[in-house]
């Protein structure tokens, strides 16, 4: 009997792990081994949350050599997927984190502001337009970084996957990037001239005021609308300033006009001193873009919790009104002026209405530009026909009532047809997500409506440029849509 007990004890001792026999761990004295109830194998397998020793590591060597006497139990490992501090990651992971922070997929909605502004003042895109677009991109991204820095505590609860609360980007780095991008944007605007720098300074101040103070107030949507309007005016100012500075004496003083409004713009610039001179013709387009931005911002205030039905419906109605204004009859310069003209085919009569100082007749060419302009060498203008609008009729309702006539007239006018097509693309991009969010105001559908509103800015900018008489610029802006769509599949714009 004693022999059998001795043999059994020898077998048990031979099965014990090396370094734990006789109560020793790796040669150091310690308590007798006890059964690890979490692993169920007397310490031979790691418990849940306890990592397996890596190659070349000794068991218990992590975290300062494992638990020791007098130090209490070992610190548990963090939960899976939970960040406890800044995480460096691989270069590709860091690049993706910054792309999410800056929302790079929304970048393609920015260059169209400068291009639409250039078209609104009747100028071809040039050096000033490029500088304005660069400044706009920098200020836009500065606002994105500053937005996440200001909302870091709120995002930690509602959107913990964002780069700052998840620890992939530190708050200090985000704030530093916002400051550096703002300085770069103002420097680019300064290269375009003092008027452009003045507008860019107002734009930067609006962006910082919105992110730090106005975002959660009733003035938040108005601040964002003002920022987008100023962005378009920045492109108009920089383009007009650079074009005026680069004009030579040998061109006979003829304006660089692609929108059919160069003569009026030059006259306005000559009579209005200061920064406002090149900006005034672009104000109607800036207001349209600002109104659209106001609606998108109003919807975005509910994207985390959802629950708003009236806001998407109101913005949907605003979208329809803006589309009617852009697709409606031309009124002198841009969207307003003393007379409104229905462009027709070359040589066909143009439709005009009385202005403030009598009836003004404007004969239009193929792209809505006047066929008879000062200095153009035409002796006799094309025949004209005058129509009258009832005094109390609203422009939007008048446009909808005459939609069949507008479409019939556009069939013989490529420029007009392009404007209608781009306007339809704007409605097609913005309206369906808004309708879905109104029917089911859940956070995912509300976020989708916000994303659709951001992407809809591109066809709206293109439609404004084409309406101003710059069809090539409108098509160039519209070419950004596939890029924005493909990048939005990888990085969310919201």
User: pLDDT tens digits for 157-198?
Assistant: 988 999 999 999 999 999 999 999 999 999 999 999 999 999
Q: What is the pLDDT of residue 81?
A: 40
Predicted confidence (pLDDT) at residue 45 exceeds the cutoff of 70: no
pLDDT tens column, 237-251? 999 988 777 654 344
Whole-Å CA distances, 92 to 52, 178, 483: 27, 21, 21
- Give the distance, in angstroms, between the CA of residue 469 and the centroid of all CA atoms in the same chain: 26
Is residue 78 within 8 A of residue 454, CB to CB? The reply is no
pLDDT tens column, 102-126? 999 889 999 999 999 999 999 999 9
Helix count and strand count (H, E) for the chain: 18, 8
Q: What is the pLDDT of residue 405?
A: 64
CA distance 199 to 228: 12
Average pLDDT over residues 307-319: 91
Q: What is the pLDDT of residue 385?
A: 41
Average pLDDT over residues 129-140: 97
Q: What is the pLDDT of residue 163?
A: 95
pLDDT tens column, 380-410? 344 444 444 444 444 555 555 665 666 666 5
pLDDT tens column, 276-298? 666 788 999 999 999 999 999 99
Q: What is the pLDDT of residue 37?
A: 37
CA distance 366 to 371: 9
Which one, of 463, 453, 459, 462, lies nearest residue 488 by Cα? 453
Q: What is the pLDDT of residue 476?
A: 95
More confidently predicted of 222 and 341:
222
pLDDT tens column, 319-375? 999 999 999 866 544 454 333 333 433 444 443 333 333 333 333 333 333 333 333
Q: What is the pLDDT of residue 228?
A: 96
CA distance 352 to 373: 16
Instruction: Give kind and range of the element (H or E) at residue 24.
Output: strand 24-25
pTM over 0.75: no
Q: What is the pLDDT of residue 356?
A: 36
**Averaging pLDDT over each range in 61-75, 141-155, 245-259, 332-346, which range is the top one?**
141-155
Q: What is the pLDDT of residue 2?
A: 62
Q: What is the pLDDT of residue 256?
A: 45
The chain-wide mean pLDDT, for the chain, equals: 73
Predicted confidence (pLDDT) at residue 414 exceeds the cutoff of 90: no
First-to-final CA distance of the chain: 79
Q: What is the pLDDT of residue 9?
A: 59
pLDDT band at 306 (very low <50, low <70, confident <90, very high): confident
Q: What is the pLDDT of residue 303?
A: 81
Torsion of CA 432, 435, 441, 444, to 10 degrees: 0
More confidently predicted of 75 and 97:
97
Q: What is the pLDDT of residue 493?
A: 79
Strands 384-386 and 336-341: unpaired
pLDDT band at 32 (very low <50, low <70, confident <90, very high): very low
């Amino acid at each position: 009997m004693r022999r059998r007990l001795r043999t059994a004890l020898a077998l048990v001792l031979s099965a014990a792990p090396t370094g734990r026999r006789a109560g020793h761990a790796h040669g150091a004295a310690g308590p007798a081994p006890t059964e690890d109830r979490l692993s169920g194998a007397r310490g031979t397998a790691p418990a849940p949350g306890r990592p397996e020793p890596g190659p070349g590591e000794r068991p218990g060597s992590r975290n300062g050599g494992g638990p020791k006497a007098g130090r209490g139990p070992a610190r548990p490992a963090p939960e899976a997927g939970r960040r406890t501090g800044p995480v460096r990651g691989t270069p590709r992971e860091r690049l993706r984190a910054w792309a999410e922070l800056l929302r790079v997929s929304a970048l393609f909605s920015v260059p169209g502001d400068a291009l639409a502004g250039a078209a609104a003042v009747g100028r071809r895109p040039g050096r000033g337009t490029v500088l304005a677009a660069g400044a706009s991109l920098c200020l836009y991204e500065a606002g994105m970084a500053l937005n996440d820095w200001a909302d870091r505590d709120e995002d930690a609860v509602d959107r913990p996957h964002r780069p700052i609360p998840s620890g992939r980007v530190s708050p200090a780095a985000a704030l530093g990037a916002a400051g550096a991008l703002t300085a770069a944007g103002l420097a680019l605007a300064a290269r375009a001239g003092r008027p452009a720098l003045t507008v860019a300074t107002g734009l930067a101040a609006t962006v910082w005021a919105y992110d730090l103070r106005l975002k959660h107030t009733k003035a938040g949507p108005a601040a964002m609308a003002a920022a987008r309007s100023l962005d378009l005016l920045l492109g108009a100012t920089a383009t007009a300033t650079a074009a005026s500075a680069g004009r030579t004496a040998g061109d006979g003083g003829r304006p660089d006009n692609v929108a059919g409004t160069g003569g009026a713009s030059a006259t306005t610039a000559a009579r209005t001193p200061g920064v406002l001179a090149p900006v005034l013709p672009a104000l109607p387009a800036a207001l349209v873009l600002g109104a659209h931005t106001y609606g998108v911002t109003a919807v975005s205030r509910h994207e985390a919790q959802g629950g708003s039905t009236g806001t998407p419906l109101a913005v949907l109605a605003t979208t329809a009104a803006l589309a009617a204004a852009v697709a409606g009859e031309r009124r002198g310069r841009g969207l307003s002026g003393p007379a409104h003209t229905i462009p027709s085919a070359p040589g066909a009569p143009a439709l005009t209405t009385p202005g403030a100082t009598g009836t003004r007749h404007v004969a239009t060419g193929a792209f809505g530009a006047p066929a008879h302009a000062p200095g153009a060498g035409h002796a006799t203008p094309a025949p004209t026909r005058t129509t009258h609008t009832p005094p109390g009729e609203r422009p939007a309702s008048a446009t909808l009532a005459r939609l069949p006539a507008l479409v019939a007239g556009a069939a013989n006018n490529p420029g007009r047809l392009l404007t209608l097509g781009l306007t339809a693309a704007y409605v097609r991009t913005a309206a369906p997500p808004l309708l879905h969010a109104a029917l089911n105001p859940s956070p995912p559908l509300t976020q989708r409506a916000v994303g659709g509103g951001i992407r809809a800015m591109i066809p709206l900018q293109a439609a404004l440029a084409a309406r101003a008489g710059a069809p090539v610029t409108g098509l160039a802006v519209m070419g950004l849509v596939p890029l924005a769509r493909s990048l939005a599949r990888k990085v969310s714009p919201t």
